[in-house]
Amino acid sequence: MRHLLSTRDLDRASAIRLLDVAEDMAETADRAVRTLPALRDKTVVNLFFEDSTRTRLSFEAAAKRLSANVITFSAKGSSVSKGESLKDTAQTLLAMGADAIVVRHHDSGAAHRLANAGWIDAAIINAGDGTHEHPTQALLDAFTMRQRRFGSEARGRGLDGLRIVIVGDILHSRVARSNVWLLHLLGAEVHLVAPRTLLPTGVATWPVTVHEHLDDALALEPDAVMMLRIQTERMRDAYFPNPREYGREWGLTHERFARLGPDTMVMHPGPMNRGLEISSSAADSSGSTVLAQVTNGVFIRMAVLYLLVAGADAAISAPGNAASATGVTG
């Protein structure tokens, strides 16, 4: 694996190895010294053309815990605002010694362009491109589901047989797209729920079941319900009558949450619009994984950076050896 651009690029074995290496990284969290030497003298650049406090800080924390040098570049106030191209920006960063570039961009395909144009020789990690994909978010979601469901016996497992319901703004959601492909790869049964206006063209060809009414999907007794943020910043038209109507038809209200099974996971990639997509009773419940998703995001990004930058072929070819390869030796 040279780059991480899309969950569609992963095969099942690679996805499970990534999740297993993230388990190794998670073991460092409770130790007095949480920093590993794996990326010492390596440089990771966070190249963000879109605002994203949560994802940027998570990648920064992950790189620093692996002892990498971290450069964070925001397009605002930079030469990009003066017209500098993506190519010139990337090559400037490479000249500074970047071993990996974490890129978030408002255009779908920007990460793929950076990885394949021949401009630079560095590992590229897609931290969200337009309405295309956000692969590390899907990996941390899968890691959280696996951890919550299987606990200490999670290693080596997929998500076979789990029923996952994804609700909301599928049209604009790169999180939904990355999750659909990864969850299907790991053996889960995926259901999408959205107003017809918020379903993308071509969804009928995806490996999912589509519902228009949330109550129909919840009646299937899902193992996890993933609520998506309404991305008003990407909307140029009215996609639903009004927020009140949306909350009543497609929100995880207190009443709907009360009907879920005791072990049903409630997920949200954040930031949450409480009262619109999700009620506070659901978001703050014991079934909520929202904060665990944030915590696990650091472990997943540590695993991705480690596997891409450290050249961890030994860990890839021998699952379970990642701990010793990273310096996680107890």
State how far the Cα of 320 lies from the Cα of 81, in Å rounded to an integer: 46
Give 245-295 as a 3 state SS string: HHHHHHCECHHHHHHCCCCCEEECCCCCCECCCECHHHHCCCCECHHHHHH
Q: Is 82 annotated as a binding residue?
A: yes
Beta strand 209-211 pairing with 100-105: unpaired
Phi–psi pair at 151, nearest 5 degrees:
55, -130
Give the total residue count for the chain.
Answer: 330
Q: Are 93 and 71 in contact (CB under 8 A)?
A: yes
Q: Is 106 annotated as a binding residue?
A: no
**Block residue for tokens 């910043």:** 233
Say how many C-beta atoms besides its own lie within 10 A of residue 46's C-beta: 23
Q: Is 271 annotated as a binding residue?
A: yes
Angle made by CA atoms 126, 95, 57, in degrees to the nearest 5: 40
What per-residue string of b and e applies to 292-324 under the rule 16 or more CB within 10 Å gives b? Answer: bbbebbbbbbbbbbbbbbbebeebbeeeeebbe
Token pair of 122, please?
């560095």
State how far the Cα of 252 lies from the Cα of 264, in Å rounded to an integer: 13
Strand stretches in the chain, DSSP E: 43-48, 69-74, 100-105, 123-129, 163-167, 189-193, 209-211, 224-227, 265-267
State how far the Cα of 78 lies from the Cα of 243, in Å rounded to an integer: 36
Q: Is 229 annotated as a binding residue?
A: yes
Say how many C-beta atoms besides its own lie within 10 A of residue 241's C-beta: 11
Q: Is 12 annotated as a binding residue?
A: no
Q: Is 157 annotated as a binding residue?
A: no
State how far the Cα of 188 lies from the Cα of 161, in Å rounded to an integer: 5
Annotated binding site for carbamoyl phosphate: 54-55, 104, 134, 137, 270-271
Annotated binding site: 54-55, 82, 104, 134, 137, 174, 229, 270-271
Annotated binding site for L-aspartate: 82, 174, 229
